[in-house]
Amino acid sequence: MSEWVFGLESLYHRLLSPRIPVIVVALRDDDLPNAMVAAWHMPVSSNPPILALAIAPDRFTHGLIEKRGEFTVNIPPPSLLDRVKIAGSISGRLHDKSKLFKFIKGTSIKTPIIDESLGAMECRLHRILEMGDHSIILGNVLATRAKKFEEVWLLSPLLHLGGTKYVKFEYL
């Protein structure tokens, strides 16, 4: 007897998990950084380098990116798990998340990057495409930085299982 489960349309994206969560940073009107956790992201072009994020239009960060035209994408190490959970569970509309992480100046845009991250990308808004209940935010990657790749792979990033569940990747 088959053990297939049908009718998962509302949760189909969980079949693509786990995914590496990223922290998307955009500047608020007062120039303080806002941090949002996102797991729906991917590269869509190498030349020129373009990154895609899926963010619901009602999210505070979506509006900040639209208004400012730039953002950074930061890859958190497992040591930031507690702060990632906080950033992913509260809205920047209601809470100041600028003190959650140590931010440093980037090289190409005004929006800062997270110093403790394993890697970071500075992006200028390329285009926003409406897709159902989310927008695809396309960003031209202007600059990147990362810890030494050997260190990154030994530390390994967090993996997001969905909702508030995270795991740390373990090498086989």
Q: What is the mean pLDDT of residues 147-163?
A: 70
Whether the pLDDT of residue 152 is over 60: the answer is no
**Domain annotation covers residue 29:** yes
Q: Is residue 6 a part of any domain in this protein?
A: no
Task: Give the percent of the chain with pLDDT over 90.
Answer: 70
Of the two residues 3 and 145, the one the predictor is more confident about is 145
Predicted local confidence at residue 154, as pLDDT: 61
Lowest-pLDDT range, 62-71, 74-83, 125-134?
74-83
Average predicted confidence (pLDDT) for the chain = 90
Return d(Cα 53, Cα 61) in angstroms, integer: 11
List, for residues 22-51, the tens digit of each pLDDT value.
999 999 999 999 999 999 999 999 999 999
- Answer whether residue 108 shows pLDDT above 60: yes
Query: Is the sign of the CA dihedral 84, 90, 91, 96 positive or negative?
Result: negative
Answer whether residue 3 is part of any domain: no
- Would 140 be classed as within a structural domain? yes
Contact 35, 114 (CB under 8 A): yes
pLDDT of residue 9: 75
Residue 150 pLDDT more than 70?
A: no
pLDDT at 14 over 80: no
pLDDT value, residue 166: 81
**Structural domain containing residue 97:** 18-157
Specify the number of domains making up the chain: 1
101 contacts 76 by C-beta, under 8 angstroms:
no
More confident residue, 71 or 155: 71
Rounded mean pLDDT, 88-116: 96
Written as six digits, the tokens of 132 are: 């159902």
Looking at residue 79, its amino acid is S
Q: CATH number, domain at 106?
A: 2.30.110.10
